[in-house]
């Protein structure tokens, strides 16, 4: 079995991956804050860690627990809901539905658990209480804050000193903080109704369950939530706690959810490089302060994504919505682009790389199309297939597995797929072609590619061609008729015309097949 080596941001080195428990490899990825549609940069970690998940399932016989959270309580959510004059629930539900739709289009496998922050307030409060008991947190004016200077290991992930952090930070300097670097674990609700009925109900709820959500309502309405959807105060959610009515800080959410589903220590924590500080640094500190142990053994971070060598920003007007780009291109094209650069490196998104990725996939699907006589390539292949391979496949399999086990080298793994395709195109032996097509299909699964039938792929991916499918089929029929009449000049003219429109044809014993190039 191939041995996985992965770059650990905690040690700044390439390490052999040795799970804490081989019978339950545990992986956590920071998921989206659901206030707006994601952009293509947000899709990169989703695809990268999906490949890692698929690889771990191969290496450890599917004994993998993968958790990716959803942050559905955040100031940005509150602001966006208020601006759109809708409830928080309406906003988050719409964004989550779009998120799940996009995941399916990108061939991202379902995770084992997808916890939502709002369902884990009690777990967050439990950790906060432990941090206070251990002297790593304190209460101040309705807030609970983490005492950063008490944590001697603080900065071990981002490799920053406290002096450097303070000098280059934009942290809030508030009078209630003991130190400017202290960060929020719990914050008070900004606006609350001031009446005895509300607080009587709140006190009763708090006595029964300190994690009950308090809806900001009009008590005179006679209904607990009759006016909630229309009341702008509903967009400042609060939960009861011994520290007052409020809501959690961002960093404590992931600590609570990862602990519940993966334990106090697990194998891999992942995310983009932009999350290393302060988010992941603060998660690590919270875990040390509460439980005295390292949260995750391996910390893996993917590089950033640029658009035409520029950072995406509203001022430049170059933010590319994931939803919009998936309406223009097949999800596998986007996935191929995101895997075309090594995950640690910056990926530069250009129109050219999208076109190249489409052409590469056309070539791979075109290779599979040569197996049409056994019907394999015309049947939709499920996203998850048996991972069993015979001994004859071992050499080709090891090339792809070795590439992925070498710090998730997806560019090299893609090259390995094309090496198999080369052999298919060069072979004139149908049995060999069939075996290679089977291998290509099976090996592409670990990358989440070639998941469609060839007919479906070429029908929906004619970018670069000025023809629709009916025009192509009409010309193919005319060419067949010309050949039957021995009018080979006309047949060659039709082939040339198709090539001019990026359509390549191939004559097989089952008939003429075509592909976009």
Spatial distance between the Cα atoms of 265 and 282, rounded to a whole number of angstroms:
15
pLDDT of residue 398: 72
Q: Is 215 exposed, middle or buried (0-12, 13-18, 19+ CB in 10 A)?
A: middle
219 DSSP 8-state letter: G
pTM here? 0.83
Assess whether pLDDT exceeds 80 at residue 199: no
Assess whether pLDDT exceeds 80 at residue 426: yes
- Residue 193: closest CA among 152, 238, 258, 158: 238
Terminus-to-terminus CA distance in the chain, angstroms?
Answer: 37
pLDDT of residue 392: 44
Q: What are phi and psi of 235, to 5 degrees?
A: -90, 25
Instruction: Give 508's contacts (C-beta < 8 A, 6+ positions apart).
Output: 370, 372, 373
Least confident of 132-136, 235-239, 256-260, 300-304: 235-239
Specify whether the CB–CB gap between 125 and 253 falls below 8 A.
Answer: no
Q: What is the pLDDT of residues 89-146, one digit of tens each?
A: 999 999 999 999 999 999 999 999 999 999 999 999 999 999 999 999 999 999 999 9
Instruction: For residue 342, give the 3-state DSSP assignment.
Output: coil
Residue 7: its H or E element: strand 5-8
Q: What angle in degrees, to the nearest 10, is found between the helix axes of 410-426 and 351-368?
A: 40
Residue 26: its H or E element: strand 25-29
Q: Would you report the helix, strand and coil content of the chain in percent, each value rounded to 5?
A: 50, 15, 35
Assess whether pLDDT exceeds 50 at residue 350: yes
Q: What is the sign, positive or negative, of the torsion defined by CA atoms of 151, 156, 161, 164? A: negative
Distance set, CA 468 to CA 27, 460, 462, 474 (Å):
44, 10, 8, 10
Instruction: Give 133's contacts (C-beta < 8 A, 6+ positions apart).
Output: none
- Residue 295: closest CA among 281, 305, 308: 281
pLDDT of residue 516: 67
Spatial distance between the Cα atoms of 40 and 72, rounded to a whole number of angstroms:
20
Q: What are phi and psi of 185, to 5 degrees?
A: -105, -35
Spatial distance between the Cα atoms of 359 and 333, rounded to a whole number of angstroms:
9
Q: Is 502 exposed, middle or buried (0-12, 13-18, 19+ CB in 10 A)?
A: middle
Half-sphere exposure of 334 (CA within 13 A, CB side): 29
Instruction: Give 138's contacts (C-beta < 8 A, 6+ positions apart).
Output: 132, 144, 145, 147, 178
CA trace torsion 389, 393, 399, 405 (10° rounding) = 10
445-484 per-residue burial string, b: 16 or more CB within 10 A, e: under 16: bbbbbbbbbbbebbeebbbebebeeeebeebbebbeebbe
162-171 per-residue burial string, b: 16 or more CB within 10 A, e: under 16: beebeeeeee
Specify whether the CB–CB gap between 363 and 355 falls below 8 A.
Answer: no
Spatial distance between the Cα atoms of 188 and 238, rounded to a whole number of angstroms:
8
Q: In the predicted model, what is the mean pLDDT of residues 384-406? A: 61
Peptide bond into 448 cis (omega under 30): no
* Position 234 confidence tier, pLDDT thresholds 50, 70, 90: low
Instruction: For residue 268, give the 3-state DSSP assignment.
Output: strand
Q: What is the pLDDT of residues 30-72, one digit of tens each?
A: 999 999 999 999 999 999 999 999 999 999 999 999 999 999 9
Assess whether pLDDT exceeds 90 at residue 508: no
What is the spatial order of strands in the sheet that 183-188 belongs to? 137-140, 143-146, 183-188, 246-248, 238-239, 213-214
Q: What is the pLDDT of residues 432-491, one digit of tens each?
A: 999 999 999 999 999 999 999 988 898 787 655 567 667 887 898 899 899 999 999 999
CA trace torsion 441, 442, 448, 449 (10° rounding) = -10
DSSP lists the bridge partners of residue 188 as 246
* Position 506 confidence tier, pLDDT thresholds 50, 70, 90: confident
- Residue 66: closest CA among 261, 295, 250, 264: 261
Distance set, CA 193 to CA 154, 234, 240, 485 (Å):
39, 11, 14, 87
């Amino acid at each position: 079995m191939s041995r996985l080596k992965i770059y650990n941001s905690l040690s700044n080195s390439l390490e052999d991956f040795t799970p804490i428990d081989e019978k339950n490899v545990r992986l956590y990825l920071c998921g989206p804050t659901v206030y707006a549609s994601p952009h293509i940069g947000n899709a990169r970690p989703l695809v990268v860690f999906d490949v890692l998940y698929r690889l771990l399932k191969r290496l450890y016989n599917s004994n993998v627990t993968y958790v990716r959270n959803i942050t559905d309580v955040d100031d940005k959510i509150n602001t966006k809901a208020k601006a759109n004059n809708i409830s928080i629930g309406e906003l988050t539900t719409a964004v989550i539905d779009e998120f799940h739709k996009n995941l399916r289009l990108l061939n991202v496998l379902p995770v084992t658990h997808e916890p939502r922050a709002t369902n884990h307030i009690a777990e967050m409060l439990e950790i906060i209480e432990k941090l206070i008991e251990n002297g790593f947190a304190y209460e101040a004016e309705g807030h609970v804050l983490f005492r950063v200077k008490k944590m001697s290991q603080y900065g071990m992930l981002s490799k920053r000193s406290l002096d450097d952090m303070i000098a280059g930070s934009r942290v809030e300097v508030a009078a209630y903080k003991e130190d400017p670097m202290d960060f929020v674990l719990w914050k008070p609700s900004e606006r609350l109704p001031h009446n005895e009925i509300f607080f009587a109900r709140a006190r009763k709820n708090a006595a029964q369950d300190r994690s009950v959500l308090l809806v900001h309502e009009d008590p005179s309405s006679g209904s607990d939530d009759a006016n909630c959807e229309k009341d702008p105060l509903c967009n400042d959610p609060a939960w009861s706690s011994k520290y007052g009515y409020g809501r959690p800080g961002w960093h404590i959410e992931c600590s609570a959810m990862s602990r519940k589903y993966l334990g106090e220590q697990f194998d891999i924590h992942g995310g983009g490089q932009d999350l290393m500080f302060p988010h992941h640094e603060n998660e690590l500190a919270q875990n040390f302060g509460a439980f005295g142990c390292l949260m995750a053994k391996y910390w893996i971070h993917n590089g950033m994504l640029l658009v035409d060598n520029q950072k995406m920003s509203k001022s430049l007007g170059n933010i590319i919505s994931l939803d919009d780009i998936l309406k223009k291109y097949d999800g596998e094209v986007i996935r191929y682009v995101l895997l075309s650069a090594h995950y640690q490196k910056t990926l530069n998104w250009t129109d050219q790389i999208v076109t190249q990725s489409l052409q590469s996939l056309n070539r791979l699907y075109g290779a599979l199309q040569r197996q049409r006589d056994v019907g394999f390539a015309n049947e939709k292949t499920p996203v998850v297939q048996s991972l069993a391979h015979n001994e004859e496949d071992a050499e080709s399999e090891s090339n792809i597995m070795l590439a992925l086990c070498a710090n998730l080298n997806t560019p090299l793994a893609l090259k390995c797929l094309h090496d198999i395709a080369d052999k298919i195109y060069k072979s004139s032996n149908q049995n060999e072609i069939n075996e290679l097509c089977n291998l290509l299909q099976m090996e592409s699964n670990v990358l989440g590619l070639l998941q469609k039938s060839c007919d479906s792929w070429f029908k929906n991916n004619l970018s670069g061609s000025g023809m629709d499918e009916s025009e192509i089929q009409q010309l193919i029929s005319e060419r067949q008729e010309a050949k039957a009449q021995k009018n080979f000049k006309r047949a060659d003219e039709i082939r040339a015309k198709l090539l001019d429109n990026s359509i390549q044809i191939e004559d097989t014993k089952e008939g003429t097949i075509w592909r976009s190039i």
